[in-house]
Amino acid sequence: VDNDIPGRYESFLNPEEKLKAIRAVAEKAHAAGNRAFVYIAGTECITANADTAHTLAKDHPDWLQRKITGEPAVFGGGAAFWIRKGDEDVWVSPYAPEWRKTYMERVRQIAATGIDGIYVDIPYWMTHFDGWEDTWASFDDYTVAAFKKQTGLDARKEVRLGDVSDPNFRKWVDFRIQTITGFMQEIDRTAKSVNPEIKTIPEIYPGIEEEAVRVGSDVYSLYPVVDAIAHEYEFGEGDHMASSRTPLDWFRYQVGMHSFRAFAQGKATWILNYSWDGDKKVDARQAMMNLAASEIMAGANFWDAPGHSMAGSNDLPTRKKIFSWIKTHEETFYRPRTAIDPIGVYFSPETRNYNANEFIASYRGILILLMQKHLEFQIVTPRTLSEFRGSTLILPDVRFISDSEKSSLRTYVGGNKVLVVTGEDATGMGNTANVIRFSKCPGKDYSAALQKDFDASTPEREHEFLKSLKAETAVRVAGSPMLATSIAGVNGKPHVFFANFAGLRGGVNPIQTSQTGVQVTISGATNGRGFFLPFLGDVQPLEGNVRAGGVTYNLPAIEKGAVFWYEP
């Protein structure tokens, strides 16, 4: 339910009418056996009819976020599609004490209505409207004072904005991310102090790329302090509308979603994205199915809406068909996925924070390479490094490694595991047979090749790198590199999830080229049953062929996507 209290100045001051309505909708939802969530803004607040005597900016100019030049974050109609003509839109500093105290009181009151969840939209530093992108705001008095207290530095005078070689700027980057994470953590703690069962869900557009650093809403940092995240994921470049994505866009999207699932550590990943918005050459139903297949195969939750709205559907019968199929097979897609025999790929938050573009090119290139080569991968982070049990771990141009990470990496290599370092080497380790180095990063190289000519680029171009991984996997897959593959155990059984992007042409063709001749081999097996579930289809049993290396299954044609699994 969209009944935003803190994001509208009138109800921020006087919430009673909306609180009553939220309580009523919660009661109605519960009576019907459903749950209800209420949408609220994060640091944004709109005053309707800004020519009136009282607006937030007029009443509390000290609350506003500001550029380093002092310009306040005040906008009018047209700055964004949700701001109506004549309205005042402002962005508030999370450190404005009076505002924050009232904001948390509103959160407490909302939680007391019995609503099941609080959905917090855009908890950001204002750096995404025109003219604000490179400001690294905010430099309001409250924020500057908080940074000074934490670091002893004057943000206005002692930070070289945008210069990652400046240790003070890196402290500013960390501080801004910590601030938004702490803000969401306080919302969650405040709501649960009233209703322990209530859920907190931020909605953010940044994913793994540089935007997360700029707006301060970092997926990796947020997952531990909230219950789920709704990702309006746009992956930095490319087109985020399903109807106009290229195959490369689709593969980048897979990388983002698999990263979110790794960061979540079992929490839900909601993907709020958009399939179609009036594209005359693309059938909306096909675009919806493509979006759903890509998200479900990655283990994320599907949520599609018409255009850039949150409610409704481009085609309701297709929506019902998709959700009915998900319900039938939810155990397959949403039970925990566990590693079998993975190659690890390390996500370094620090490196992304300070060298986003170079790190992401390497990280994303390596993951797409492994997906197209159909090798099992596991995204490893500082939170999960000590638990990683795979025999090979890749550091994709990781330039910043903490002492604790270095210690964990030494322990890993000491356990007779292989560490593959691409690009710069920040490990501090000496020469050893178990550390393989590629000074010319194959991930960046492959990213550049895909960008230049996706169809002509295949994983084999990086054969030396692939050879170094020493991949002797329990599940072997043979198929086209246009299939994005992820392998995992579900309920103790090996599963292979396929998303097919062959033949897709953004804005022209939303129907895949059918993929035939795909084989899955279960190494070491001598018998057992195979099963195949095509997207929106029914489960089909498969007969395997026993060979010296195991049991091989020939899969039926894969259209939009499919799942194979093996039962001993």
Least confident interval from 18-22, 75-79, 113-117? 75-79
Which tens digit of pLDDT belongs to each residue from 424-437?
999 999 888 899 99
pLDDT score recorded for residue 236:
54
Mean pLDDT of 11-34: 98
Which tens digit of pLDDT belongs to each residue from 307-327?
877 788 999 999 999 999 999
Nearest Cα to Cα of residue 197 among 122, 135, 139, 114: 114
Label residue 307 left, alpha or beta by phi (over 0 means left) and psi (-120 to 50 means alpha): left
- Residue 568: pLDDT over 80: yes
Mean pLDDT of 457-483: 93
Neighbour-count burial of 379, counting CB atoms closer than 10 A to its CB (0-12 exposed, 13-18 middle, 19+ buried): buried
pLDDT score recorded for residue 462:
95
**Proportion of the chain above pLDDT 90, given as a percent:** 92
CB 110 within 8 A of CB 116: no
Neighbour-count burial of 357, counting CB atoms closer than 10 A to its CB (0-12 exposed, 13-18 middle, 19+ buried): exposed
- Residue 399: pLDDT over 90: yes
Which tens digit of pLDDT belongs to each residue from 232-277?
987 656 567 899 999 999 999 999 999 999 999 999 999 988 999 9
Mean pLDDT of 7-19: 98
pLDDT score recorded for residue 238:
57
In angstroms, the CA 492 to CA 514 distance is 30
- Residue 422: pLDDT over 80: yes
Instruction: Give the other-Cβ count within 10 Å of 536's Cβ.
Output: 18
pLDDT score recorded for residue 239:
64
Mean pLDDT of 366-376: 98
Mean of pLDDT over the chain: 95
Question: Would you call the peptide bond into 138 cis, given omega within 30 degrees of 0 as the criterion?
Answer: yes
- What angle (nearest 5°) sits at the alpha carbon of residue 299, between those of residues 297 and 305? 80
- Residue 414: pLDDT over 70: yes
How far apart, in Å, are the Cα atoms of 196 and each of 112, 213, 447? 10, 31, 45
Which tens digit of pLDDT belongs to each residue from 49-65?
999 889 999 999 999 99
- Residue 175: pLDDT over 70: yes
Residue pointed to by tokens 């908080």: 146
pLDDT score recorded for residue 430:
87
Least confident interval from 15-24, 67-76, 455-464, 467-476? 467-476
pLDDT score recorded for residue 235:
66
- Residue 466: pLDDT over 70: yes
